[in-house]
Amino acid sequence: MNIPLIPVLLASNIIAAIVGAYGTRVLFVSKNRSPNKGIIFGILVGLVGGLIAVFLFWLAFTYMISTRTRAHIAAGIEPPLFSEQNWRIRGAIASQEFGVTLVLIAMVLYLSYKTDTFTTPQSLQNIALAMSWIAIAAFGQTLVIITGGIDLSVGSVMALSGLVAAYYISGDKSPYATLTEFTSSGGNVREKMLVPDEWRYVLFAMLLGCSVGVLVGLINGVLIAYFRLPPFIATLGMMSVARGFCTGVTKGETLRNFNEKFMEVGRGEYIMPENVPILEGYRFPYPALIMLVICAIMTIFLARTIWGYRTYAVGGNAQAAELSGIHTRRVLVMVYTFSGFLGGVGGVLLTSRLGSAAPDAAMGYELQVIVAVVIGGTSLTGGKGTVIGTLIGAIVYFVLRSGLNLLKYDAYWQEVAIGAMIIMAIMFDQIRIAIQNRRMPEFIRIDRLRGLVGRRPAAISDQQV
């Protein structure tokens, strides 16, 4: 019998979320706490319950491999147990993204209960804004790590791209700056050099900054693909080169005096209408919206295009990919170019948000980018990873940082917690792979049973089936 797991998954989560939302809303109202907060808390509780129920259902279903099913497999007949729909759902449940999502929901539940400010619009807005440029750069890093490489230059690329954009849009350096009157905070009318407040200047500055990121990524790709430099060495050297350019060009100075439209890109917000339940009054920063758009595009690119398939193939086995006709060098150049481009986008948004471009901007961001990718389930050995997982990893990382701040933990111990989380993420991923591939009993190892399909014995009767 083919058990439809997708309807079970959806129904269990919807029912659990509704029940949890109603129950906790009543509880929060009775304790004179925000009913909207109670609804959010209840939905999260319901989702956790629903996901755990689906996981237990899958585990029980795995044990229910009957003798008849074994006979189907031995006869070379694929039983209903291995329908494509059920196979995909089981794969999703067993993935690291599923486990990280449960961890994220548990963190949100705990912080919602222990603090009164975590679920406030301002707190969620700060998390979304802080993670936006890190997540955007991490999307490009995901492609690189899927191929088995690494890009250590992404933080310096962010700083260099933001600096180049700032040179064009800053009143201190831009050739298009003109003397402009403005009103100071004290109400006095003053004059200073500013670039005209027009979108054409803003778009060109952003394009220029992203182009620098593309150029650096292209150089990385060529060094690695055609000159056979190890990715660690090539990108480590480029990290130093890009950072040196930032310091040498500016002489250590910080660029300021951007026009208002350029800063609006990083500081603007979309306010949810009042008629939207639960989310009314919440503000979504423009960088966060750009992050979601890029996430959707990169997800489609990896999952639905031929270059996405080639990226996974190169990461899984570069030699086999080469023998199958894939031009592995072009794939490597492409992924490093993508990493440079998305690093440039993140750097421009960061500069727009801060309203200044310093030579030491984005210092150490490459580690945060790699952390988001690793927590999201991308394997450092290559061949495995998703952009959605990277987004979840970035959310987990910044929710943890925000939560530790709200719980008033010392900043030094925060680094210990984050480092421990990285180690645990990699450790659990290795344990999950070991359990699935080597240590599970034969009657649970679905991957082996499924591999028997098509190996029909020479003599087997229908009665045996």
Q: For residue 356, give both structure tokens.
A: 């200044």
pLDDT value, residue 102: 79
CA count, 13 A, side-chain hemisphere, 118: 23
pLDDT of residue 450: 45
218 assigned to some structural domain: yes
Is residue 238 a contact partner of residue 219, using CB atoms and an 8 Å limit? yes
In a domain, 122, yes or no: yes
What pLDDT does residue 287 have? 96
CA of 346: how far to CAs of 154, 161, 263, 327, 373, in Å?
10, 9, 14, 29, 15
Q: pLDDT value at position 70?
A: 52
Helix (H) / strand (E) element for 194: namely: strand 189-194
- pLDDT score for 438: 52
* Residues linked to residue 357 through DSSP beta bridges, in sequence order: 255
Per-residue model confidence as pLDDT tens for the chain (465 residues): 444 555 555 565 566 655 555 555 555 554 455 555 555 555 555 556 555 655 555 555 554 444 445 555 555 554 544 444 454 555 555 566 777 887 888 888 888 888 888 878 888 889 999 999 999 999 999 999 999 999 999 999 999 999 999 999 988 888 888 877 666 666 676 777 888 888 999 999 999 999 999 999 999 999 999 999 999 999 999 999 999 999 998 888 999 889 889 999 999 998 877 776 666 667 889 999 999 999 999 999 999 999 999 999 999 999 999 999 999 999 999 999 999 999 999 999 999 999 999 999 999 999 999 999 998 989 888 888 999 999 999 999 999 899 888 888 887 777 888 788 778 777 776 776 666 565 444 434 444 444 444 444 344 344 443
Residue 153 neighbours by CB under 8 Å, 6+ apart: 216, 220, 235, 236, 238, 239, 242, 340, 343, 366
In a domain, 77, yes or no: no
Q: What is the pLDDT of residue 209?
A: 96
pLDDT at 36: 55
Q: Cα separation of 209 and 264, whole Å? A: 17
- Strand, coil or helix: 361: coil
- Alpha carbon distance 192, 401 (integer Å): 39
How many domains does the chain contain in total?
Answer: 1
Please give the model's pTM, rounded to 2 decimal places.
Answer: 0.79
Which residue range(s) make up the domain with 379?
118-408
418: its two tokens: 């984050």
Tell me what pLDDT residue 193 has: 80
Residue 343 lies in a domain: yes
Domain presence at residue 142: yes
Residue 237, domain member (yes or no): yes
């090539």: which residue's tokens?
A: 234
Q: How far apart are CA 407 and CA 306, in angstroms?
A: 46
240 inside domain: yes
Sequence-separated (6 or more) residues with CB below 8 Å from residue 66: none
The answer as to whether 180 is a domain residue is yes
Q: Alpha-carbon distance 67 to 53, whole Å? A: 26
Bridge partners, 183 (sequence order): 189
pLDDT at position 67: 45
Report CA Rg, the chain.
26
Distance set, CA 335 to CA 223, 299, 315, 342 (Å)? 13, 14, 11, 11
3-state DSSP assignment of residue 203: helix
